Amino acid sequence: MTVVIDRSRPVTSQTTGQGAGTAPVSAAAKARAKGDAGQKLYKPRTPIYPKLAHGRWRTIKWALLIATLTVYYVTPWIRWKRPDGLPQQAVLVDFDHARFYFFWIELWPQEVYFITGLLVIAALALFLVTAMFGRLWCGYACPQTVWTDLYIHVERLFEGDRNARMRLDAQPWSFDKAWRKIGKHLVWLGIGFGTGGAWIFYFHDAPNLITHFWIGQAPMTAYVSCALLTLTTYAFAGTMREQVCTYMCPWPRIQGAMLDEHSLQVTYRRDRGEPRGAHKKAESWEGRGDCVDCNQCVVVCPMGIDIRNGAQLECINCALCIDACDEIMARVERPAGLIAFDTDAAVAARACGKTPTYHLARPRTLYYAVALSVVSGIMLWGLLQRSPLVAEALRDRAPMFVRLHDGSIRDGYTLKIANRAYEPKDVQIRFAGVEGTRLKTPGDDTVGSVLSVHLNPDELQAVRVFVTAPQAALSAPNMPAAFTVSAGKTTVLAKTIFLSAQGNAP
């Protein structure tokens, strides 16, 4: 049937579909009418009031919260002994001098591949943990989870637990409600400011920066970064909370590729819990499941979901529903573990009367473990083989070479030598690949087969070198060569080329 809508007729009470003989109204027109009546385009966030859980998993979350926040806030203040003139901060990203310090490790800009390798290791470790145990990162160590937990704890201190907070929000404004709300938000802002303040200490010497910060002499980037981190921490952990995990973070959608039926996840054991329903103390448990439909697993969930509906995108595997359910099972004198870390395959096996089997080692996890081991091994090998002395030769382009009055050929080079050690080094420079070469530096009349250069700790020095070769030693227009840079037992090569004929440059 075709419906014809006559838009030439004015919309009146006769054309709104409320009486007989009225003309039909399109869905779009109804939506517009609702919008005009004050309907919002998007559904506002529904507040979630998670109840405080008690049990093993909640204790683990408290311990990890304290540990991770302690690491974050304390690390910039750890001192590490280095030579005078170098930062004494254990962990520091020094953009001014292009260095990254991590305790005894110091990385230069040319070693950014170590940072890349670290990110690859972190990604593979996350894939492996997710494939084996679900979203443990999200539930216990993700900054969004950690700071949200902290903010909810502050909220409980001011407003009480779940029921008290719900009653407070439903009450009209009063002095009691105002001071609790204002106090909570002020503490939230203080935590956000502490978060931003701790972050900027990773990029400047913490004791100096904290002094300069309060007297207005810190870099502008420090003030901007602190303000941004304050606002984002306050917004994400205080007002957005689960929406960050559900809508902003890509990991809930990516994790689907990491999980399978053998992955351990927080699971409602439907084979044991159904059929569910209320239970009185004197009633028998025959013919029914262990779930008493108390809804405690829902009210403790910081994401506001019902784990009994199965695996869901919003679930962060925090396991607080396990603590809540175990507490109820103890009260009704039933075994714990109605909600537990389990696999879909195990639940299906028990439903069929079979004994479940668990496969932590399977092709997916083995691949992640092997890849993680290989990348970790390569990074460890690279750190162990890292030379404290690095040299690179840049040949002059203009002029490419100079023919001297005795027929010998002179090439000019800029030799960049980096001393990555914390001790000064006296290095010897030699030139290999062409027989009979002589070396000298501009402004020094000394000519010889060896040049000596002094390098300070953690110094990059550019050395101009003229290499002169007798004509008889030149067998080709361009000859492969190398500078040999030695300091003690350490020797490195800086490969280059010696040119002796114009126009034959590579």
Residue 175 phi, psi dihedral angles, 5° rounding:
-60, -40
Which of 394, 410, 399 lies closest to 463, judged by CA? Answer: 394
Question: DSSP string covering 420-489, please?
Answer: -SSS-EEEEEEEESSTT-EEE-TT----BS-EEEEE-TTEEEEEEEEEEE-GGG--SSEEEEEEEEEETT
**Residue 417 forms beta bridges with which residues?**
391, 461
Per-residue pLDDT band at 16 (split at 50, 70, 90): very low
- What is the Cα Rg of the chain in Å? 35
Tokens of 393: 């030769």
262 sits in which H/E element:
none
pLDDT at 299: 95
State the first-to-last Cα distance of the chain, in angstroms, to the nearest integer: 79
- Output the pLDDT for position 20: 45
Give yes or no for a cis peptide into 388 (omega within 30° of 0).
no
Q: What pLDDT score was predicted for residue 1?
A: 45
Average pLDDT on 292-316 reads 92
Tokens coding 42: 């998007």
Q: Please count the other Cβ atoms lying within 10 Å of the Cβ belonging to residue 14.
A: 13
Residue whose pair of structure tokens reads 């802002």 in the numeric block? 189
**What are the Cα distances from residue 177, in Å, to 58, 107, 165, 171, 208?**
29, 53, 10, 8, 41
308: helix, strand or coil: helix
pTM beyond 0.85, yes or no: no
User: For residues 434 and 405, what is the distance between their CA atoms, to the nearest angstrom?
Assistant: 20
Q: What is the pLDDT of residue 228?
A: 96
The SS3 call for residue 376 is helix
Residue 5: band (very low, low, confident or very high) from pLDDT cuts 50, 70, 90: very low
For residue 137, give the DSSP letter.
I
Contact 79, 88 (CB under 8 A): yes
With 80 as the cut, is the pLDDT of residue 40 above it?
no
Looking at the predicted structure, is the pLDDT value of residue 55 above 60? yes
- Bridge partners for 92 per DSSP: 101
φ/ψ of 279, rounded to 5, equals -140, 135
361's tokens: 């080692």
- d(C-alpha 213, C-alpha 199), whole Å: 13
Stretch 16-20: mean pLDDT, rounded? Answer: 44
CA nearest neighbour of 294 among 279, 283, 305: 279
SS3 315: coil
Q: For residues 39 and 31, what is the distance between their CA atoms, to the nearest angstrom?
A: 9
- Would you say 27 and 139 are in contact if contact means Cβ atoms under 8 Å apart? no
Reported as a pLDDT band with limits 50, 70 and 90, residue 504 is: very low
pLDDT tens digits for range 238-253 = 999 999 998 899 988 8
The pLDDT tens digits for 153-212 are 999 999 999 999 999 999 999 999 999 999 999 999 999 999 999 999 999 999 999 999
pLDDT band at 25 (very low <50, low <70, confident <90, very high): low
d(CA 97, CA 109): 10
315: CB partners within 8 A, 6+ apart: 135, 265, 266, 303, 305, 307
Q: How far, CA to CA in Å, does 89 sit from each of 77, 202, 236, 419? A: 7, 9, 30, 20
pLDDT at 32 over 80: no
Question: Of 337, 344, 346, which Cα lies nearest the Cα of 319?
Answer: 337
Q: How many CB atoms lie within 10 A of CB 246?
A: 17
Distances (CA, A) of 476 to 162, 447, 498: 85, 24, 9
